[in-house]
Structure 1
Amino acid sequence: MKMMTFLLSHLKRIDRILVGTIVFLCLFGLLMVYSASYPLGEVKYEQGSYFFIKQWQWLVMGGFFFFIAALLPYQIYRKWIKWLVLLSLLCLILVLLPGIGVVKNNSQRWIHLGSLMLQPSEAVKLVMVIYFAYVYAKKQAYITSFKKGVMPPLILLGIAFLLILKQPDLGTAVSILLSCGIILLCAGLKTRHLILLGWTAAAGITFFAVTAPYRLKRLTSFRNPFQYENGDGYQLIHSYFAMNSGGLTGNGLGGSIQKLGFLPEAHTDFIMAIISEELGIMGILLVIGAYLLIMYRAMRIVQALHDPFGKLLTIGLTFQIMLQAAFNLGAVFGLLPITGIPLPFISYGGSSLMFMMISAGILVNLSSYVKKNPYRAHAK
């Protein structure tokens, strides 16, 4: 009875607008995966709804973990974080071992877990945000000391970065680096320490980007895709075709031409191109508006919370979602290189969806520590 009373009280305090926006994006994504993947499902598996069913299964599983994360007090991660970091780094090592890691499209990023195929780097995105929020909240008293207050967690981040780069997956490695960097920025570091770390990170990313021929090709092809129309520019060109034909209101749900074998990865990395073609600029604005609403609600939580760990965790989780959305949309619009990062809550992909929903569940839990009137929070 006490547990039921606690759950009901907890559910009353959560940010319903935040929950509604996340649910909307997930259901909208499910609909668009069905539309974008139907032709491929028919051709490849003789079942148009193949990818829709898979995405639905992951969504149900993700919904379960979302509910659990929304109910678990966020402070509990303080007790678990060391084990979570060790487990996530172990999984990054295992995925690189022959016979354990699964190779797809010249990348070794997945591990079979029974009938499921998980991508450990998606878990690392979440774990590193929790770890950095925990460590730098605890180090507030000596955050200005580089050796004692700043440096130790960066070693683990560097190890994770290199292991993910080995898969290879520079896009995910950079997104983790940036999410953790934003936590550092908000934790109160000295300006000179931030500048030093920023230049070091930029130099490292540039080095790894230009020293691998296929990455360098991606960097040059996105700037002028028509020069590489039969190679690396092909996908972006057909993304342009899709968006150009959509206009203001689109060609109607199911009316995409580019998904009929012209645009590769139409239901994954480039699902926004299909949204644009079928729902037009209005569809793009709807999705971007939903992300901005999540960010707005999250920033209200940050302003109200008094607990440094809760503040940094909210910031890290929020910008993790926003950065991933920015990377994906930037690639689709031709503003950034194609990194293979999915659109949060919308793109097809099991591991990405599940861990994104866990992140969202933690955000929802953080919102329950905010008093509605006045808008203040307490940390237990």
Structure 2
Amino acid sequence: MMKEEAVEKPRRSDPYIWGIIIILYIVSVVEVYSAISREITGGDVYTPIIKHVLLLFSGFLITYVTSRVHYKWFKVMAYLMIPATIVLLVSILLWGDTLNGAKRTIPVMGISLQGSEVAKVTIVLAMATVLAKSQIKRGVNTKGVVLVVVLVTIFSGLLFTQGLTNTLLFIGISVCMMLIGGVEWYKLGIIFLVYLVLALAVMQAKDILTESELFNKQEQTVQDGEKKDVLIQRSSTWKSRLEDFFDSTPEYEKETTDANRQEHRAAMAMAHGGITGVGPGNSREASRLPLAFSDYIYAIIIEDLGFVVGGVGLLLVYLMILARAGLIARRCTKAFPALLVMGMAVMIVLQALFNMAIVVGVFPVSGQPLPLISKGGTSIWMMSFAFGVMLSVSRYAVKDTGANIKSERESGLPEDLQAANPTNLA
């Protein structure tokens, strides 16, 4: 009697990641509504939050659709997104709209796209593809490592005027993904030296440009008719932020000025919230804290929910993303899906940690939205896509039985992405 063929179990996306997404949605709706005091005009209380809910719903659709796409197609998407993102970033540098002192967005078909958010997802897709294709018996070949460093350099250079945290974020993502990809330690040492040399070169170039009489005297006319040199303005902004960060004077002894208003109001909000918080919607500082609904929403969350629930609790939720991604990666037999799921998780969690560190004063002031919570269309869409990629891997790459493993090998994954999971934990 012939053995009955094993029937492949129906696949479903990871329910724990879906649960984390729902938690972040709930926090986002409640806290953005608490923080939009500055946007409410003429008694129109509900329009801003309705727009935000619609953005979250569109993000949910992006996550759902992406989760149903087989992860093998993200290689094709990487090849398409790399040149498209470079064109987008160059266009923003040349013709973008100024936001918070730098050219950050550009209108595309009526939608204001923020290039840095697109670049974060693109660089993860690109590095996952490069590192998966560059697998050798004991690590990653030199060509793959060089390509990763080149990608980080290009994207960091195109985003240089928008702040230094994007560069640090790209470096952090690349180092983590190379560790996951099995890059040898001596190569990582060389990479650190390369990054250090590049950083010193950029800082030196910035100082030369700042001190140059030619640039100091030159004025650039922007669209609103104001006379200023954007590069010099950003350089002075970075300098003042770093000087303020390293100033040993206690914050409570400093006078609140336009330059430090964000840090001071954020500190006041967190102090007001204390351990248990004042309750959702009872924020005192939301109407006075600049960017309370976007870059500084973490301060409002702590004010509303307190240090324990809002501060530590939300931090643990983001760390759960990384932990769950690690479990999914362990059950992947191929390098490409393992790198995809871990790359997206590292990108989301590092951005969240950067945002929190900036708000609580551990890191110098810079603009980074809190993933899937801060108000902002491009950020929500890109983070939703990142979660969708993770769910796709959990749906199509995680294997439990011998029959399912056979199915994966026959799933049409390109030959150059057939390298085994380098973590050797599957």
Q: Note whether the superposition's TM-score is higher than 0.5.
A: yes
1:370 to 386, 398, 409: 398
Query: Partner of 1:276 in structure 2?
Result: 302
1:199 corresponding residue in structure 2: 193
Q: CA deviation at 1:74?
A: 0.8
Q: Are residues 1:59 and 2:82 paired?
A: no
Change in 2 beyond 3 A, CA 1:200/1:257: same
Q: Is the 1:175–1:324 contact (alpha carbons within 8 Å) kept by the matching residues of 2?
A: yes
**Structure with more of its chain in helix, by fraction:** 1
Report what 1:5 is aligned to: none
1:292 and 2:319 correspond:
yes
Equivalent residue for 1:9? 10
Matched, 1:350 2:350: no
| Cα distance in 1 for residues equivalent to 2:280 and 2:128 | 41
Report the equivalent of 2:94.
97
- The residue that corresponds to 2:34 in the other structure is 35
Contact 1:327 1:339 in 2 (8 A): no
Partner of 1:75 in structure 2?
72
Distance 1:109 1:372, change over 3 A: same
Alpha-carbon shift at residue 350 of structure 1 (Å): 0.9
SS in 2 for 1:9: coil
- Return the alpha-carbon distance in structure 1 between the equivalents of residues 50 and 130 of structure 2: 40
- Number of the residue aligned with 1:337: 364
Instruction: Write the deviation string for residues 235-290 of structure 1: whole angstroms up to 9, x where unpaired.
Output: 112211111111222111111111122x1111111111111111112222321121
1:127 aligned onto 2:122 = yes
Q: How many residues align?
A: 363
Aligned pairs (5 A) from 1:90-239: 90-98=87-95, 101-141=96-136, 145-146=141-142, 148-166=143-161, 168-205=162-199, 208=202, 211=207, 212-224=235-247, 225=251, 226-227=253-254, 229-239=256-266
Matched residue SS, 2:44: coil
CA contact (8 A) 1:33 1:51 kept: no
- Given candidates 301, 312, 318, the residue that maps to 2:345 is 318
**Per-residue deviation at 1:46?**
4.7
Q: Gapped runs of 5+ residues in structure 1?
A: 1-7
- 1:249 is aligned to 276
Q: Deviations over 1:181-232 (max 9, x none)?
A: 2112222222222112113324434654674332122122234445463243
1:227–1:233 CA contact under 8 A, matched in 2: no
Quote the Cα distance in structure 2 between the aligned partners of 1:108 and 1:271: 22
Q: Find the residue that maps to 2:104 and give its secondary structure.
A: strand
Q: Are 1:69 and 1:358, in contact at CA under 8 Å, matched by a contact in 2?
A: yes
Bigger shift: residues 346-355 or 169-178 = 169-178
> Identity rate of aligned residues, in percent?
28
**Cα distance between partner residues in 2 of 1:47 and 1:304:** 50
- Distance (Å, rounded) in 2 between the aligned partners of 1:365 and 1:144: 25
Distance 2:25 2:243 in 1: 34
Using the TM superposition, give the Cα deviation of residue 23 of structure 1 relative to its aligned residue in structure 2, in angstroms: 1.7
Distance 2:387 2:134 in 1: 26
Question: Which residue identity is paired with 1:9?
Answer: P
Kept in 2, the 8 Å contact 1:222–1:233? The answer is no
Kindly provide the amino acid, as one letter, of the partner of residue 240 in structure 1. A
Distance 1:253 1:126, change over 3 A: same
Runs of 5+ in structure 2 lacking a partner? 1-8, 208-234, 412-426
- For 1:359 and 1:249, the matched residues in 2 are separated by 32
TM-score, normalisation: structure 1: 0.89
* Structure 2 Cα separation of the partners of residues 201 and 332 of structure 1: 26
Residue 30 of structure 1 aligns to a residue whose secondary structure is helix
- SS of 1:255's partner is coil
Match of 2:194, SS state, is helix
Note if contact 1:228-1:234 (Cα within 8 Å) is conserved in structure 2. Answer: no
Deviations 1:94-127 (A, max 9, x none): 11223xx212222111111233211122111111
Shift of the 57–218 alpha-carbon distance from structure 1 to 2, 3 Å rule, reads: same
Structure number, greater radius of gyration: 2
Q: Secondary structure of the equivalent of 2:293? A: coil
**1:188 counterpart letter in structure 2:** G
What is the Cα-based RMSD across aligned positions, in Å? 2.3
Letter in 1 for 2:25: C
Preserved CA contact (<8 Å) 1:41 1:47: no
What does residue 4 of structure 1 align with?
A: none
